[in-house]
Every structure is written in structure tokens, then in C-alpha cells.
Amino acid sequence: MGTLLRAALRRLPTPRRHRCPLPAAAPRPLGSGAGAQGGKENPSPSLRKDRADTVIIGGGCVGVSLAYHLAKAGLKDVILLEKSELTAGSTWHAAGLTTYFHPGINLKKIHAYSIKLYEKLEEETGQAVGFHQPGSIRIASTPTRVDEFKYQMTRAGWHPTEQYLITPEKVQELFPLLNMDMVLAGLYNPGDGHIDPYSLTMALAAGARKYGAQLNYPVQVTNLNPRSDGTWEVETPLGVIQAKRIVNTAGFWAREIGKMIGLQHPLIPVHHQYVVTATIPEVKALKRELPVIRDLEGSYYLRQERDGLLFGPYESEKKMKLQDSWVTNGVPPGFGKELFESDLDRIMEHIEAAMEMVPVLKQADIINTIAGPITYSPDILPMVGPHQGVRNYWVAIGFGYGIIHAGGIGKYLSDWILEGEPPFDLIELDPNRYGKWTTTEYTAAKARESYGFNNIVGYPKEERFAGRPTERAGALYDLLKSKCSMGFHAGWEQPHWFYKPGDETGYKPSFRRTNWFDPVGREYKQVMEKVGVIDLSPFGKFKVKGTDSVKLLDHLFANVVPKVGTTNISHMLTPRGKVYAELTVSQLYPGEFMLITGSGSELHDLRWIEEEIVRGGYKVEIENVTDEMGVLGVAGPYARQVLQKLTAEDLSDVSFKFLQSKHLKLSDIAVTAIRISYTVTFALRLPTHHLLVMPLNFIANCELGWELYHRKEDSVALYSAIMEAGQKEGIDNFGTYALNALRLEKGFRAWGAEMNCDTNPLEAGLEYFVKLNKPADFIGKQTLKQIKEKGLKRRLVYLTLETDDVDPEGNESVWHNGKVIGNTTSGSFSFSAQRSLAFAYVPTELSKVGQKLEVELLGKNYSATVIQEPLVLTEPTRMRLQRKGESPKI
């Protein structure tokens, strides 16, 4: 370490204690400080109104942005309650970084909106915001990091965000003070920078007031009482406010607000420190402001602060600090604009890395360190939207990067509140991705990990291991854990792929094909040629019954209601005709249904259904049986032969048809069996031309499969009985990676990839499941009719790609004639075609079979061809082709 810096550290003033206000020398972004007037307006601490449309709880940048956007959109009676003063909590001491970059596909839109808003806020509100946009560079100093940047480039290529992969020379030109020894490449976002979080909040507050919102502080919310009509009573020391809806934007107090209504929001405050230096002559001598840099290997950000530098590290999982007493006891009620004691020892290795990378730091004096609480959620993404289980309760909480998110999230949530559906897909922020399994211990372990992993390489198919297994791991977990690489799905552990002697086991992430590639091919073959068993227990499972159950499902779903003993694949659409969810619906008994959804969408779907039940006054009961039931999938040509050994019930095709369900005893265990398989089944909508790449006899009979729903207590016995019965047939396990390859070959779309609330079912090629002619006026029907009349601008196509050591993953750029014209949605290696497969959205005029396109993977454009789907022919099509005397061609 440089001696001067060491000396400087020694000269630091005595670290500030808890609850000491920000000293005069507190950092303020360049040129700011004078303009921030909004906070001076000290509203009278009276409620002024006792009725509101929306009460927003918490006056940080996120809550104030929501008030601004709701009021600007014309909503009357928006009241924000802040218990101390605006920005108290995390906003006021934030480092204020703004960036277009986010690895998440949809969050890029939030970032871009925020930046565009912040650029014009002063003009709109008269309040300066201290916004600096010198650009930012992420620095790669390892080859893997360069791969990561290439991966990020293809993911950003179909977004409006400007982002460039730049050479070391260009990096140096933009940031002349770098030690170039370690720089291999840079990821450059022009327009990035930093803003003064306090002034930003004041500008949003000025705007919110201008448009009619009421910001009240200091007014503490002391209790929240739900009323039977779905409205709320918000109690404060100054009286009660009646509100149609409440929005929790309380930052690191959000857990305390949640507790008032019996919810435990998974978020935890962590310590974050940053350091500000005095003037550095080399910085002062520069003609223009330095771009922000993020040294990912060193795990810190660094930006110019006046004529010095500001430097903020993210310590490792082991070194970072949680406020332990807050984890267990909650945030002390009086805590407001206070800081923690700083601890430079904790960040010393990052200081050293920064001095290596930016050598002028060695001579720099530190004039300030800020150590404040910021909120972390288990996956470091915020929770934004309506909450399942509590009517008219919304959240915008868990922000680790609140400043860059505030603008976009305020707009997003305001649109959702006012229009009844999310303006675009942001499923990764759904508060309902968490549930009862996200305990405090889990959240604390994850907060540590997320903080420590701030700058780790973000691989595709990333797995993180802290806090696992949860109490929800699943009944087969202990039996299977040593045999496979497990994936985490909403608290469950589900096998990704299974080990065999000679395999390189464990989690070995890569941007290219890695250790699971060959084993997944083996599992694929297992299911195609013999019979495989998969644990599908993480599915979300609901039972619906009651007088109005048929009526409800007819209104909720775009497909017809299945007859008793049968199953349909059905979509819930939004009023705008987008795909909100995909479920299977089985009528088990007259009027009694089982609804099955993916593991990640359990509470997401449940919230929507529950809300429609209340809205329409349907007489039904819905029960979430997700945790009570296990599910085993048995698939492959010998599936029938194996299961038949365990039951007297006739499983032949005549008596147990595709998409039928029956209650059976298998080896004396009661199961509800559905003849369906995401892996292998019929496709009824097959066109006549196929690219068939496998000999017919090889794929004959491969489409057989059952799902077996049973009591969780019986999972192990059922699994063992099936495995035992299938010895002769060579039964074996398979995991979700093989499942994904199988479903792609069959042309099955996956919710969250090929369809979401940005896509309508027609462009997604789901027309077969959408019954526009059914009598019931299901949600989205009218809009969808209009969409159909107008014609589709883009379509989902099925592509094969000539690749080498990398497969498409989804969200890559699709090119044509030197331009990005679309994006992939998911992909995999096809073990039957022996080349890569992907789904992609492209303009309708480029969607014809035979169209040549390119897909960008790791910096290279691979040639791709639109082909007729599906790749693997299934029984009905083969029969039809045979009858016609045609033989499919390779």
C-alpha cells in the first residue's frame, strides 16, 4: 500500500458513531449542494386529508418517484407518508451511480427510463439534481471477463441501450489514469454517470407536489388495518387515513411495515462503505470529467468527486457486514439519517486493488468515509408489484441500487397501478417469487452472498449455494443430492443432471459447453430410447372447486375448460392480450380442478387468480397444494411397460389416452396420473414438411409420458417402486437440462421465455390453445381479436444454428443484413439434430421457413436457418405421413 494513503488512513477523523448526522464534509456530487431546496419545505405535521386513493409509505427516492409518477399521470389523492424526512434511510448517503447497464434483460429498460427522466428533471421541476454523465467503463482483466462482456453485448444488442466493447487503447483514452497492465477490454456505456441522490429526491418531490400529490412528514405509520372491502386504514399518530391501496416503499424499514400485516419480506440492511479523497493534482489537471470505472476483479466502483476520487468496494461474502441485531430484532425505530462506524480494515484489499489500477490513489488523502445501511434482497433484485395474499397491498422494496432504479420503477409501478397490468415484463422483480420459505436465516445468508457476489462473473445457468437447502427442498432431496447437480427453484432443489462414473461432477459454470454437456446428451438418449424419471415436485399446484369453478376458469383461461378426466394447456391473458401465465388445467371430478404451473410462477399465478375471484365474486375455493404434493414424471417408450407392472388399471392407449387423467394406485400408493409430458407428447398442429434428422425407427414410441401427483410423504416410496419396476427396461434418472432440450425439440414454448407479458399468444405460435370462438368472454379476448385482425408484426421462429463450442441460451441478438432484427428467447443443443436449436422473435417478413439469419454468440455471428418445427416428429404426424405415402426426408 502507498505510504501516503496509509498515512492518510491514520489521519482519518475518529470514526463516526451510530446516529451521528452527516458532517459538513459529507460528499456531494460535483457542482451540487446549492440547489437542493425541496427539503426545506417543512410541511405542517398534520394529515390534511383522511382519504386517499394511494398511500405510499416511505419517502426515499423510490417512494417519492412513485408519488411523482402517479400524480403526473393524473391520479388524485396520492399521499406519501414519511416517518422522519425525505431521503432518510439509504437514499441520502447513496453514492448515486447511474448506469444503462444491467445484465437483466428487462431492467435495462428501467435504467434507461431513469436516466432519460433525470436528464430533464431540472427543467421540469426547477430543482438542480447534480447529474453528471461522463460515461462508464467496466473493466475486464481476465479472459473469462472478456467472454462475459461478449455475452452481455449480444444481450444488449436488441435493446436501445448504447453499449460498446472497447479495446484497452480506447479504455486508456477515456480514463488516462489507469494502469493498463491489467486491462484486457472495457464495456463502455456512454451517458452513464452519477447524480446527487438528495437533490434528485427533492426534484421528484417538487414535481410530485406540483402535480398534486401530498408528501407528509414526519408522519409515522403505526398500524395497517385491512377492511373487508379490500380498502385500508392507515393509522398514524395524527389520525387514520382510508386508502384504496397502500404501497410499501419503506426501504430498510419495509420489513417492519410488512410485519404489521403478517408478512415477512425477505430483505436485510447491509453495511456499504465508500471513501472520498481530497483533491488529486492529476485529476484536477484533466480537461474533462473521468468516466466512472468498475474494476470487476477488484470489486469496486470509482468515480470522480470534484477534483478527487470516490471509491466504493463490495467486500467478499465473508468480510461484508450485516447489522446482526437488525437482522434479528429489526431496524431500531429511531434510526433515520444516521451512519455506521466506518471500518477501513474491512475494505483494505479493495483499496490496494484500486491503488494498483489507479496509481494516483497512492498519493491521495482520504477526507471522508461513509458507511451506511443499504437494503439487500436474497437475489439483490428489488420486489416490485402487488403482493399475493393481501389485497391492494403493493411493494417497491429491496433496492440495493435504488438511485438508478427509482425513476424507472416509479413509472413502471404507476403504470401498473393505473392500468391493471404491468407495462412490460419484469418478472424477475415479482415480489411473489419469494414465499414462506424465505426465512430470516435464508435471507441473511443470501444477502451476504449477493453482496459479496456483486462483481462476480455472471454465467448463464448460474447457481448460487448460500442458504440451501431451504425447508422446502423436496422429499427426494436427500435421496438424490449426491447423485446429481441440483438446481434451485423457488426454494426447491431439483436435479439439473445426473452423475455417472467418469463424469466431472459439480457446478462448473462456463459461457461455453461445460461438464454437463455430455451427461445431458446421455439423459436425452435415455428418455428417447428407454424410460426416464424426473422429479417435477416444484410445480405450483392449485385445487379449484365450487359452484362457479367452470365459470371462473372459462373467464380466466383462453382455452376451453377441459372435460372431466382430461387436461388442457391453457393461458391466462392480460386485458391487453399478453400472456400472463401458462398452466395445465385438469378436471379431476365434476367441477373440481387441478391447476399446474411452473415452479417460479406459483404465487404469481395464484395472486392473479385470487384477484379475479374477488373481482368477479365467483363462488369457488382455491387451495394451494404445492407443498403437500410431490410429482414424478415418467417418460419414454417403456414408460407404459414399467408403470403397468405397478397397477391393475389398464394403461393401454385405448383406455388411458393422451391428456387424460385418472386416479390410480401404483404399488398401493394413491396417485393422480396425467398422461402428459413436457418432454415427449403429440403435437397436433403439425404442418406437413419437416426437417427430420433422425431415422424413423429411432424416434418411434418416444412420445409416451405420465406425471404422477401424490402425497409428498409417498414420494420416496413411489420413486423407489418405479425404479425397481423398471430395472429390466434400464430405467434411469433425468434432470431439467435434458427436459429443456427435449421440449425445445418438440417445439414447446416455455413461459417466461417464448411467452410473457410482452408477447401475445398469436405471435408466440400458441393460437392452437387460444379459442377465440369459445362463448365465454375470457380476459384479453377482445384485444386479441383486434390484434389478429391487424396482423402480426413479428413471429416466433424455430432456428437451427451451425455452432461450435457454444449454444444459444436466449436473449441473444438475431442479425440480418448487418442489423439486429430480433432476439432469441431460448436455446439448447439438439442431440437429435447434432446442432444448436433456438426460438427467436423476428419480423414477420423474415419468419418464413428457409430464411437465413445470424445469431450472435460470444462476439461471433453464427449462421442460422428458420426451419419448420418441430424437429422431432411425433406419432400422429408419422401416422399421417405414412397414410399419405410420404416418407419424411432428412
The stretch among 100-108, 471-479, 581-589, 648-656 that binds ligand THG (CB under 6 A) is: 581-589
> Which residues inside 101-160 make contact with ligand THG, applying CB under 6 A?
none
49 versus 563: smaller Cβ distance to ligand THG: 563
Smallest distance, Å, CB 463 to ligand THG? 21
Smallest distance, Å, CB 748 to ligand THG? 5
93 versus 746: smaller Cβ distance to ligand THG: 746
Instruction: Choose among 768, 782, 154, 93: nearest CA to 369.
Output: 93
Smallest distance, Å, CB 640 to ligand THG? 17
As a whole number of angstroms, the distance between CA 859 and CA 855 comes to 10
Pairing of strands 567-573, 300-305: unpaired
Smallest distance, Å, CB 583 to ligand THG? 5
135 versus 600: smaller Cβ distance to ligand THG: 600
> Which residues inside 190-219 make contact with ligand THG, applying CB under 6 A?
none
As a whole number of angstroms, the distance between CA 388 and CA 401 comes to 24
Provide the 3-class DSSP secondary structure of residue 562.
Answer: coil
The stretch among 111-119, 142-150, 300-308, 578-586 that binds ligand THG (CB under 6 A) is: 578-586
The stretch among 38-46, 477-485, 577-585, 828-836 that binds ligand THG (CB under 6 A) is: 577-585
Residue selected from 273, 537, 574, 584 as contacting ligand THG according to rule CB under 6 A: 584
59 versus 827: smaller Cβ distance to ligand THG: 827
For residue 201, count CB atoms less than 10 angstroms from its CB and return exposed for 0-12, middle for 13-18, buried for 19 or more.
buried
Q: Is 598 in the site for ligand THG (CB under 6 A)?
A: yes
683 versus 787: smaller Cβ distance to ligand THG: 683
Cβ-contact 746, 681 below 8 angstroms: yes
Q: Is 581 in the site for ligand THG (CB under 6 A)?
A: no
Q: Helices (DSSP H) in 437-495: which residue ranges? A: 440-452, 477-480
Q: Is 582 in the site for ligand THG (CB under 6 A)?
A: yes
Q: What is the DSSP string of 707-766?
A: EEEEEGGGHHHHHHHHHHHTTTTT-EE--HHHHHHHHHHTT---BTTTBSTTS-TTTTT-
Smallest distance, Å, CB 633 to ligand THG? 8
Smallest distance, Å, CB 106 to ligand THG? 21
263 versus 683: smaller Cβ distance to ligand THG: 683
The stretch among 428-436, 592-600, 664-672, 688-696 that binds ligand THG (CB under 6 A) is: 592-600
Smallest distance, Å, CB 747 to ligand THG? 7
C-alpha pair distances (Å), 77 with each of 49, 209, 385: 9, 11, 20
Q: Which residues contact 646 (CB under 8 A, 6 or more apart)?
A: 666, 667, 721, 722, 725
> Which residues inside 686-725 make contact with ligand THG, applying CB under 6 A?
707
- Give the helix/strand (H/E) hosting 380: none
Residue count of the chain: 890
* Total residues interacting with ligand THG, rule: CB under 6 A: 16
670 versus 684: smaller Cβ distance to ligand THG: 684
Q: Is 748 in the site for ligand THG (CB under 6 A)?
A: yes
Smallest distance, Å, CB 631 to ligand THG? 8
Cβ-contact 405, 110 below 8 angstroms: yes
According to DSSP, residue 221 is labeled: -
According to DSSP, residue 566 is labeled: B
> Which residues inside 668-687 make contact with ligand THG, applying CB under 6 A?
674, 676, 678, 681-684
C-alpha pair distances (Å), 100 with each of 109, 136, 204: 8, 9, 20
Among positive and negative, which fits the CA dihedral 24, 27, 33, 36? negative
Pairing of strands 136-140, 292-295: parallel
Among positive and negative, which fits the CA dihedral 275, 278, 281, 286? positive
C-alpha pair distances (Å), 27 with each of 31, 271, 742: 11, 17, 55
62 versus 673: smaller Cβ distance to ligand THG: 673
List the beta bridge partners of residue 245.
54
Hey, what's the cell of 496?
439439473
Residue with the three cell numbers 395472486:
607
> Which residues inside 511-570 make contact with ligand THG, applying CB under 6 A?
569
Residue selected from 596, 646, 731, 838 as contacting ligand THG according to rule CB under 6 A: 596
Q: Is 796 in the site for ligand THG (CB under 6 A)?
A: no
Binding residues (CB under 6 A) for ligand THG: these are: 569, 582-584, 596-598, 674, 676, 678, 681-684, 707, 748
